[in-house]
Amino acid sequence: MDGLRKPLTIVSLVLALVGLGLSSYLTWVHYHPGALVCGTGGCEIVQTSKYSEIFGIPIAIMGVTMFIVLIAGIILRETMPEYADMIGTGIVVILLAAILYWIYLSYLEANVIHAWCQWCIASSLVTFTLLVVEGYRWYRSYSEIGG
């Protein structure tokens, strides 16, 4: 577990834990709509829109699942160095897919729902920051191999 002390790993774990917390809150609020705390007023509109679920599953649960997978991947990458490159690539691919989905959801908020959810935006910003950190780490690991 000594690898967990690496600064980028710690930053990634903290970001993933924050993302897990945000997604968990959004999941809880999905089932308890009156409990939503939102300074902009758009959160409830977004959370109760038909776009807040896919096949009856709240999007927030997909966020919880993603952040749990990312946390596991970050830890496994440090504890199983022989698979670090493969795991790191998987982490970056997951984050890229999440960002593409975020762009789609942002389009819906702006052009279809006409409301913005500050908690959703916060979760997306955490995801984007995590992509920057993990993308840098991934790039650095491959540039060391080739250079």
| Total domains present in the chain | 1
In tens, the pLDDT along 48-66 reads: 889 999 999 999 999 999 9
Residues in the chain: 147
Closest CA to 133 of 12, 5, 6, 4: 12
Owner of token pair 């060391």 = 144
The HSE-up count of residue 123 (CA atoms within 13 Å, CB side) is: 29
d(CA 95, CA 134): 9
Q: What confidence category does residue 145 fall into, taking pLDDT thresholds of 50, 70 and 90?
A: low
Q: What's the N-to-C CA distance of the chain in angstroms?
A: 28
Domain that holds residue 36: 2-146
Confirm if 120 and 105 have CB atoms less than 8 A apart: yes
**How does pLDDT run across 67-120, given as a tens digit for each residue?**
999 999 999 999 999 999 999 999 999 999 999 999 999 999 999 999 998 999
Hey, how many other C-beta atoms are within 10 angstroms of the C-beta on 24? 16
CB 1 within 8 A of CB 78: yes
To which residue do tokens 């690496």 refer? Answer: 6
Q: DSSP strand E in 47-133: where?
A: 53-54, 57-58
- Say whether pLDDT at 36 is over 60: yes
The tokens of 24 are what?
């968990």
What's the CATH number where 60 sits? 1.20.1440.130
Residue pair 130/9 in contact (Cβ under 8 Å)? The answer is: no
